[in-house]
C-alpha cells in the first residue's frame, strides 16, 4: 500500500471510530472534558492544515480553543477531516514526502513532511480517543470496541 492510500485509510478509520465516540459522548452526564478533548482533535486538524498552507493566522490559532458545543462537534469534525482528505487526494506521493515549512510553537521556522503531520494527527486522535473512552467508563458508560483490527478481521466459521 502506498502512503497516500494508507493516510486516507487511517483518516477513515479514525473517522468511523470518532463518530462512534461522539454518540457515546452525548450519553455522558458530565461531558465537559470529553467535549474539550474532542474539540482539541478538531482544532489540531485545522491548525496543522493552516500551518501547511502557511496561513498567517496559524501561529495564533489555539490547539484547545474554541471548545465547541456538543451539538457542533460532528459538523466541525467533518469539516476538519474533509480538508485533510482533499489535501491528501490532491498530492502525489512525492509531495506528501516533501517537507513543508511552518511557524512552530516558539515562532521559529520548522519543517516536516505532510505525511508525518497526517500520521501525527491520526495517532494523536487514537491517544485522545483512549482518554475519552476512560471518561466514559468512569461515568458508567461502556465504550464501543474501536480497535483497528475490529475493522479488518472477519469470521470465517461458526
pLDDT in tens, the chain (158 residues): 699 999 999 999 999 999 999 999 999 999 999 999 999 999 999 999 999 999 999 999 999 999 999 999 999 999 999 999 999 999 999 999 999 999 999 999 999 999 999 999 999 999 999 999 999 999 999 999 988 888 888 899 98
Contact 42, 70 (CB under 8 A): no
pLDDT in tens, 16-47: 999 999 999 999 999 999 999 999 999 999 99
Residues 133/138/139/141 CA torsion (nearest 10 deg): 50
Q: Map out the domains of the chain with their CATH numbers.
A: 3-151 (1.20.120.450)
C-alpha distances out from residue 95 to 83, 106, 112, 140, Å? 16, 26, 12, 46
CA torsion through residues 123, 88, 92, 153, sign: positive
Which residues are bridge partners to 110 per DSSP? 102
Residues 20/23/24/26 CA torsion (nearest 10 deg): 160
Look at residue 3 in the predicted model and tell me its pLDDT.
95
Look at residue 1 in the predicted model and tell me its pLDDT.
67
Burial of 137 (0-12, 13-18, 19+ CB in 10 A): exposed
Amino acid at each position: 500500500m502506498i502512503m497516500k492510500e494508507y493516510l486516507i485509510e487511517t483518516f477513515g478509520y479514525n473517522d468511523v471510530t470518532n463518530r462512534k465516540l461522539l454518540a457515546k459522548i452525548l450519553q455522558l452526564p458530565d461531558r465537559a472534558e470529553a467535549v474539550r478533548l474532542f474539540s482539541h482533535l478538531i482544532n489540531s486538524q485545522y491548525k496543522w492544515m493552516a500551518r501547511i498552507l502557511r496561513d498567517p493566522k496559524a501561529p495564533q490559532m489555539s490547539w484547545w480553543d474554541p471548545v465547541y458545543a456538543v451539538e457542533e462537534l460532528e459538523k466541525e469534525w467533518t469539516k476538519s477531516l474533509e480538508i485533510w482528505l482533499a489535501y491528501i487526494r490532491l498530492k502525489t506521493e512525492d509531495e506528501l514526502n516533501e517537507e513543508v515549512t511552518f511557524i512552530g510553537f516558539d515562532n521559529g521556522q520548522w519543517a516536516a513532511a505532510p505525511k508525518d503531520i497526517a500520521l501525527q494527527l491520526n495517532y494523536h486522535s487514537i491517544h485522545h480517543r483512549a482518554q475519552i473512552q476512560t471518561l466514559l467508563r468512569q461515568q458508567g458508560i461502556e465504550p464501543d470496541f474501536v480497535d483497528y483490527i475490529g475493522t479488518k478481521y472477519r469470521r470465517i466459521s461458526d
